[in-house]
Amino acid sequence: GEYQYFLGIGLPPKESKFFSGLKRFYHDKGRLTSPPHITLKPPFWYPNQLALINKLKVWSSTRLVFELVLSKVGSFKHKKYGTVFLIPNSEEKLKLLESSLTHSIAFLPRNSSFYPHLTIANRIDLNRLPEVKSQIKSLNLKLKLQVDKVVLYRRQSRSPWQPFLFFNFKERV
């Protein structure tokens, strides 16, 4: 079967559970289509799964572990809906990570407007967006992440995304 993939930074189990719960609270009608994550490469098809895995192994073995803190709340407006998310304190490191993937591995989507974020609530009615945003701000969330790997998520047709493989970074020097 044909798989679709995306690449992201996942959360540790405890934090993942917390943010899934929060997301579900704001999106009760919809099922969660993916575990909480920071996207590095949006969904894509890849001609050869084995080649992709091998390239990711090589790529990740040269990356160094770093820490991220997410505490600022931001939002997007789409045509019909809004999204509320946490913004990482150091977007630069994530942008470098994203562009190094682009340069190291052919056939990955190129994203000139990459904007790293962790979605908390999506498909929020636009008239509720300010209210939801201030509710989330009032939680004073602060997430500290040790970024030591990248997750390859995959799915078949329209089923939910599953973490498929983890690619560990080289330890700190």
Instruction: Dump pLDDT digits (tens) for 144-170.
Output: 999 999 999 999 988 899 999 999 999
* Residue 151 C-beta-side C-alpha neighbours within 13 Å: 18
What share of the chain in percent tops pLDDT 70?
A: 95
Q: Which two tokens stand for residue 45?
A: 């098809």
* Amino acid 125: pLDDT: 92
Of residues 82, 5, 81, the one with CA closest to residue 37? 5
Q: Output DSSP code: residue 140.
A: T
Residue bearing tokens 């992201």 = 8
Q: What is the pTM of this model?
A: 0.92
Q: How far apart are CA 28 and CA 6, in angstroms?
A: 24
Does the pLDDT value for residue 96 go beyond 90? yes
Sign of CA dihedral 85, 66, 153, 97: positive
What's the rounded Cα separation, in Å, for the pair 120 and 71? Answer: 12
> Taking a C-beta distance cutoff of 8 angstroms, is the pair 68, 161 a contact?
no
Write the pLDDT tens digit of every residue in 73-91.
999 998 889 999 999 998 8
